[in-house]
Amino acid sequence: MFVVVMKTFAKFFLVFSPFLFAFALSFHALLANQIPFRDLKNAVVKTFGMVIGELDTNTIIFERFESTDVEKQVYFATITYIIFVGFISIMSIVMMNLLVGLAVDDIKGVQRKAQFKRQEMRIELIFSAESLLSRFGRKTFTLRNYIYRPNNPSGYLSRMFHRFYVQSMKTAKEIAEIQFDDDEVEVTTTRKSPEKRLEEIQAQIVQLARTMNQLVDRVNSGAFSSQLEGNIQPRMWSNKRVVACSGTTERRADPIKRLAVDDDLDEEPVQF
């Protein structure tokens, strides 16, 4: 982080160094009678100190009102004030705040890089520890050979587990067979259901036909009895004379035919 900030400051100083030397030359030309600005070297050092906040305004500008010494006088007061105010505005305020902002921004970037670097170092540490432990574990705990006999369990737990496994597999097989049989029976029942339905419909038709035959028998018996009574009464009064009505002739009504119902349902269906 320190190196990054120093690099930023070096770049910043290269950009603003012309301003520093320009103000140093200005103060050397205007305040050459004062000791800090007597020669160019001292003027540059004093100006650089003023940049970081050591302005010493009372000694440079206002001490001339309390003393009559030549080393404390300001001969070009107006232009000196203007340049001094410009120096404070540009170098002390703008440049320093800009330098602080750049430093803070660099610190944020450095912090982000430091987080990535820390994660990288942590990952490298984990891989190093894993490789070291894996080498140690392979040499210490890894078995050279292993004999496995699935049908010959050696320990008590192995035998119990083997017995439980065999029993569970047998039960699962029986359940699968039962389910397969149920599915086959269900499929057979589904296939035979139309035939059974047809037989039920045929039985209903036969029952309906028998009921209709009973009704036909009743109707035929009723018509025959009424006709018989109508024929007997005129014979008793007319001594076997034929009764003739005007333009009409009595004729015996034909009986209604019954339906041909089979007693056995497996024979021919009902004929209507």
Quick one: pLDDT at residue 22? 93
Max CA pair span of the chain: 191
Quick one: pLDDT at residue 245? 41
User: Phi and psi dihedrals of 141, rounded to 5?
Assistant: -110, -5
pLDDT tens, per residue, the chain with 272 residues: 778 778 888 888 888 889 999 999 999 999 999 988 999 999 999 999 998 888 888 888 888 888 888 888 888 889 999 999 999 999 888 888 888 888 777 777 777 888 888 899 999 998 888 887 776 666 666 667 777 776 676 677 777 877 888 888 888 888 888 877 777 666 666 665 677 778 888 888 888 888 888 888 887 777 656 655 555 555 544 444 444 444 444 445 567 777 776 554 444 444 44
Quick one: pLDDT at residue 190? 61
Quick one: pLDDT at residue 230? 55
Domain residue limits, the chain: 2-140
Q: Which two tokens stand for residue 66?
A: 């309390």
* Burial class (CB within 10 angstroms; exposed 0-12, middle 13-18, buried 19+) of 92: middle
Question: Measured between alpha carbons, how far is 155 from 170 in angstroms, rounded to an integer?
Answer: 22
Quick one: pLDDT at residue 247? 43
